[in-house]
Amino acid sequence: MNKAVALLQEKFPEEVVEVVEFRGDTAIEVKPDRLVSICAALKDGHDTGFKYLSMIAGMDYSPASPRFGVVYNLYSHKHHDRITLKTRLADDLAPVIDSVAKVWSTANWHEREIYDMMGIRFNGHPDLRRILMPADWAGYPQRKDYPLRGQ
Amino acid sequence: MNQAGTMQRTETMLLNVGPSHPSTHGVLRVLVELDGELILSADPDIGYLHRGIEKMCEYRTYHKCLPLMNRVDYLAGEVNNFGFCLAVEKLLGVEVPKRAQYIRVLIVELTRIASHLFWLGTHGHDLGAMTPLFYAFRERETIMDLCEMASGARMFPLYFRIGGLAADLPEGFIPAAWQFAKSFDKNWKDYDTLLTQNIIWKGRTMGVGALSAADALDWGWSGPMARGSGVDWDLRRDNPYSSYEEFEFEVPLGNSQGDTYSRYLVRMAEMLQSNRIIKQALEKIAKTEPGDIKCADPRVSLPPKEMVYSDIASLINHFKLIQEGITPPAGEVYQAIEAPKGEMGFYIVSDGGPQPLRVKVRTPSFVVLGSLDKLCRGRLLSDMIAMIGTMDIVLADVDR
């Protein structure tokens, strides 16, 4: 079994929702509440060592509910291993999740982009403002209900 | 207090750099807070080249995404397509024939040299060395010509397809590529003599923008940026794709100081390694069957034309692939490749339909630009120009 899965099932058995293996990729879905502790454990764990956050993607699964999700891709240079960590956010109208910018500095810009594009807020983010769109832009362009050619 | 004993008013200055300035490598605006010439903070304002490529992909078939992907990092157009094709092929669970894999490696390594040459020319130019640009563009032009030969286009070849290549290499390509590969090592020495031991170059780059290996990973650095800091990591070697495991090459680490000069050494040495791979690829291509450039899976590749005319199943297959497009099974994959600028990743989610549910493009330029503030604080304004250059960013790659 994947070391990251083993670590999470040992330390956070209540949090793991689902583990999916597809085409050699391991995707672990966890509950959002203790995400920062989970990420810190994966980063510092001896057998995992995911020191590198590859990317964070905001997801709009509309019309499904819970509608929004956040996906983290982590890489371990120690084992040359990669996992996808997924969460679904409970609130469809005002999606919010804790920021992992304290765990990996690179998360700062990824989270700003998701806030800008999807309107997902990150608690504890040091500087949560729009990044690609102008500061006074209304709406979140990458949501599924946002028309392709703008409003 | 000044000499006269009166209180003198001091304040910091806010300087607007860009968005249209030759040293910003595209349209990048940086709001710099200065105390004299010292940088207190640097806030990059990006998004001027935001085209919404990820959003547009959700409204197109997988093949129609390819022209968009060419334009993500337009200095290495075909590399983006390489990653996207590999990601969709992973989603489908198909593998392309060896000949197509080797040709892809050949084109991508040529593109890596072209991208590094562009970096070398512009980075040198930013710091006052005018000559390298002319030498670098001489070889870059040859690579553009090779791309044009293979596909008809120079900047955006659009030569790779999901499941293989658009066509086999044209006649005369292999000799022309050999000619490039054989002369490149000698031409490389021209840039090396201009800069590597140049005292001004060393003065402008040594100790500038230094970052430790641990910090480099914390800030998400990959590719030459991370290797300049001594992170011994190359996706081509550590997570091989497209038969990279069959190629012999070294992963240069510069002098591991993590400064601009170290990254200069890394990229310079990488060009020679790419040329090694190109020579091996050319030898390997010669050993494969010409024309074997597409995977035979009917979900991906069109059937042979004579079959379409004679066999009803092939006709239906052809019709469905043209009308509907490729329909991968529901699922999600992440495929990362070693692009010239670092890790380029594609996270693709499919719901089983002909259009992707979500395409997330992880670009190296976006990530490294996020650490500009960290690098610049306490340095001189002129060092910021060196740091933007050493990051090898392309704003199209930052904004997508």
| Torsion angle of C-alpha atoms A44, A95, A134, B58, degrees rounded to 10 | 90
Q: Which of residues 49-88 of B touch A (CB under 8 A)?
A: 50, 52, 54-56, 58-59
**What mean pLDDT, rounded, does chain A reach?**
87
**pLDDT for A51-106, tens place per residue?**
899 999 999 998 888 999 999 999 988 888 889 999 999 888 889 999 999 999 99
**pLDDT for B324-381, tens place per residue?**
888 899 999 999 999 999 999 999 999 988 999 999 999 999 999 999 998 888 889 8
Report whether A2 contacts A85 (CB < 8 A). no
| Token pair recorded at residue B212 | 């430790």
Q: What is the pTM of this model?
A: 0.89
* pLDDT for B129: 85
Tell whether A38 is covered by a domain. yes
Tell whether A84 is covered by a domain. yes
Angle between helices B98-126 and B77-92 (to 10 degrees): 140
Report whether A47 contacts A10 (CB < 8 A). no
Nearest C-alpha in A relative to B231: A77
pLDDT at residue B2 greater than cutoff 60: no
* pLDDT for A44: 84
The rounded distance, in Å, linking the Cα atoms of B77 and B153 is: 11
Tell whether A44 is covered by a domain. yes
**pLDDT for B167-207, tens place per residue?**
889 989 999 999 999 999 899 998 888 888 888 898 888 88
pLDDT at residue B278 greater than cutoff 90: yes
Evaluate the omega torsion of the peptide bond into residue B44 and state whether it is cis, within 30 degrees of 0. Answer: no
The rounded distance, in Å, linking the Cα atoms of B272 and B283 is: 17
Report whether A31 contacts A87 (CB < 8 A). yes
* Inter-chain CB proximity B217 and A77 less than 8 Å: yes
Q: Which residues of B touch A109 (CB under 8 A)?
A: 366-367, 369-370
Report whether B42 contacts B377 (CB < 8 A). yes
Q: Which residue has the higher pLDDT, A50 or B22?
A: A50
* pLDDT for B96: 92
The rounded distance, in Å, linking the Cα atoms of A93 and A31 is: 18
Residue among B111, B115, B109, B110 at smallest CA distance from B25: B115
**pLDDT for B220-263, tens place per residue?**
999 999 999 989 999 999 889 988 999 999 999 888 788 899 99
Q: Which residues of A touch B53 (CB under 8 A)?
A: none
Q: A98 vs A87, A94, A103, B217, B285, CA distance in Å? A: 11, 13, 11, 21, 51
Residue among A27, A77, A117 minimizing CB distance to B332? A27
pLDDT at residue B130 greater than cutoff 90: no
Tell whether A142 is covered by a domain. no
The rounded distance, in Å, linking the Cα atoms of B98 and B120 is: 33
How many domains does chain A contain in total?
1
Tell whether A40 is covered by a domain. yes
B371 and chain A in contact, CB less than 8 A: yes
* Inter-chain CB proximity B367 and A109 less than 8 Å: yes
Residue range of the domain that includes A71: 3-92
Residue among A23, A73, A113 minimizing CB distance to B345? A73
User: Any idea what the CATH number is for the domain that residue A47 is in?
Assistant: 3.30.460.80
* Inter-chain CB proximity B220 and A106 less than 8 Å: yes
Q: How confident is the model at residue B126 (pLDDT cuts 50, 70, 90)?
A: confident
Tell whether A145 is covered by a domain. no
* pLDDT for A62: 85
A105 and chain B in contact, CB less than 8 A: yes
- Report the SS3 class of residue B355: coil
Task: Give the pLDDT mean for B138-157.
Answer: 90
The rounded distance, in Å, linking the Cα atoms of A41 and B74 is: 38
Tell whether A80 is covered by a domain. yes
Evaluate the omega torsion of the peptide bond into residue A66 and state whether it is cis, within 30 degrees of 0. Answer: yes
**What mean pLDDT, rounded, does chain B reach?**
89
Report whether A17 contacts A33 (CB < 8 A). no
The rounded distance, in Å, linking the Cα atoms of B225 and B338 is: 12
A62 and chain B in contact, CB less than 8 A: no
pLDDT at residue B385 greater than cutoff 70: yes
Tell whether A149 is covered by a domain. no
Helix or strand (DSSP H, E) at B34: strand B29-35
Q: How confident is the model at residue B5 (pLDDT cuts 50, 70, 90)?
A: low
A99 and chain B in contact, CB less than 8 A: no
